[in-house]
Amino acid sequence: MVYQSINPFDEKTLKTFELVSDAQLESTLAIAEECYAAWRSTSFAHRAKIVSRAAAILRERIDEFARLATMEMGKLIAEARGEVLLSADIHDYYAKNAESFLAPERLSPTSGEAEIVSTPIGVLFGVQPWNFPYYQLARFAAPNLMAGNVITVKHSGCVPQCAIAYESLWLEAGAPAGVYSNLIVSHEQVIHVIDDPRIKGVALTGSSDAGKSVASRAGQNLKKSTMELGGSDAFIVLEDADLDKAVTWAVWAKMNNMGQCCIAAKRLIVVEEIADRFLEKFQKAMAALVPGDPMDESTTLGPLSTESALLQLLAQVAEAVADGATVVMGGSRIDRPGYFMQPTILTNIQPNNAAFRKEFFGPVALFFRVKNEEEAVQLANDSDFGLGGSIFTKDVARGKRLANRIDTGMVFINHPTWTSAELPFGGIKNSGYGRELSKMGIQEFVNKKLIRTTSIDESV
């Protein structure tokens, strides 16, 4: 097994990376453990200086980092720049707020004094995906490094250059060796790392199947874990929505990152009264997307990340059609070099269709008509996933009322589900557990320790 950096636009292999040996892996974990002994005792101000410097480097060299992401996984260059800036924002957010987020919490016992203090727990292990090769790392690393933990990461095998660039970022920012370590390891070595007693917590972002495997292994070792897994987000459009704006946001929500996003709008649920008009406008907008070089600013339809991802999506569409779904548009590979797929819309997807329960990770939208808001909520909740979702309506109070009934970790009103440093991110059901970002994200891998002081003469 090797890690390969392949340009999905022209299918050329850029670089190949061999796995680390078991001896090299052992050395890395030993250095991380040794580093933690010192890092946990550093001040918030010292950590913040390094984390802020990492943010500044990302901004100073935005094009360098962005181009690497575009070359390795095909992200449109403008979106790649946006990801680099988002990652820098996350670094700055925790550099600024970590100390207050983890400040001791005074309690009010019936006698004496008591407080909750937050302390780091040790070396953490993250398994991260390719679709946002910097943002996924930033939202794991920044809060946990500020909390005093030390980070080791197994990044996806198709973005090894991004992984190495992010590791180098921390060294350039002034972090000591071992604070952040990139691991080019096999699946068997991943199991070894999870089992290692020096690892105190495990975080994964990926598929539900990967989550089950990693969470199970962490559980066997009684280690805290967080899982941010797949999604099949509902994009609900009610009859009173601003139709043109809803369509514009639907295209963005479906096609951002070429649909390779856990919080992409995967199920468009539109009230019958406006369904035909919505579908007509949505189809027209999807058809206007222009395939091309993702490095070219004029390109609006980039390739998928890998050939295997493309072939899997094509197989899912074929299966959906075999089960009775209708292809409104697209459904095929684009006849050109690279891993390009036509923007695709499927309708007439019944509950007995395999597509009804699956996540489509790419430019495939599932379109559903419903009679009213009640059916919209029922359909939104009829999913094994529970990550995000959105509701479009001019009546914000109505939107909030329906949002409270949708079983997901996040619901946005009049905007697609999205992310920023100050907003908690995570889901329920097969979309995982735990939260990243915001004040909540930094609390996941810290020890909430009670310190109680009372009179030695006090009775029990």
Residues 397, 197 contacting (CB under 8 angstroms): no
Torsions phi, psi for 64 (to 5 deg): -65, -50
Q: What is the largest CA-CA distance in the chain?
A: 83
Strands (E), 131-197: 150-154, 180-182
Among candidate residues 139, 182, 126, the one with its CA nearest the CA of residue 159: 182
Among candidate residues 79, 410, 380, the one with its CA nearest the CA of residue 252: 79
Tokens 């992409």 correspond to what residue? 264
Residues 122, 144 contacting (CB under 8 angstroms): no
Long-range CB contacts (within 8 A, 24+) of 396-403: 398/238, 398/373, 402/236, 402/373, 402/376, 402/377
Catalytic, out of 167, 228, 373, 444: 228
* 150: number of Cβ within 10 Å: 28
Nearest-10 crossing angle of helices 77-101, 62-73: 120
Q: Which amino acid is at 97?
A: N
In whole angstroms, what is the distance from residue 124 CA to residue 14 CA?
Answer: 30
Catalytic, out of 162, 262, 436, 444: 262
Q: In a 3-state reduction of DSSP, which class is residue 248? A: helix
Chain-centroid distance of CA 75 in Å reads 15
Q: Which residues pair with 449 in a beta bridge?
A: 117
Catalytic status, residue 228: yes
Q: Is beta strand 265-271 parallel, antiparallel or unpaired with respect to 233-237?
A: parallel
In whole angstroms, what is the distance from residue 345 CA to residue 366 CA?
Answer: 6
Q: What angle do CA 231, 235, 239 make, to 5 degrees?
A: 160
Q: What angle do CA 171, 176, 177 make, to 5 degrees?
A: 75
> Would you state the structure tokens that stand for residue 283, as one six-digit string?
């189809």
459 CB-near residues (< 8 Å, 6+ apart): none
Catalytic site positions: 228, 262
